[in-house]
Amino acid sequence: MAHNFAINDDVHHQQQGPQGRAVAKERSVYTIVSCLPIEADGRPRYRIRSKSENVERVVTEEQISRLG
């Protein structure tokens, strides 16, 4: 499986609550800062940085979506 997003792409990230449940908070806009190696489970991972807060996260591809 290949990465579907590239460095500098802006994406939405849905916060995850306990046991993977989505948090009701509004989705945040992040920028992809690096594409990480695909892990043993086959899911592409990314390092993303918030556009509104001083926060970076490592997420799987299913946790982010394209803007618009």
Burial of 10 (C-beta count, 10 Å sphere; 0-12/13-18/19+)? middle
Residue 26 forms part of a structural domain: yes
**Which residues constitute the domain of residue 22?**
1-43
Residue 9 forms part of a structural domain: yes
Question: How many folded domains does the chain comprise?
Answer: 1
CA pair distance 22, 42, nearest whole angstrom: 22
Strands 64-66, 56-60: pairing kind: unpaired
Name the band, by pLDDT with cuts 50, 70 and 90, for residue 24: low
Residue 27 forms part of a structural domain: yes
Task: Please give the model's pTM, rounded to 2 decimal places.
Answer: 0.82
Name the band, by pLDDT with cuts 50, 70 and 90, for residue 25: low
Residue 67 forms part of a structural domain: no
Residue 48 forms part of a structural domain: no
Residue 18 forms part of a structural domain: yes
Which candidate, 27, 35, 19, 7, places its Cα nearest to that of 68?
A: 27
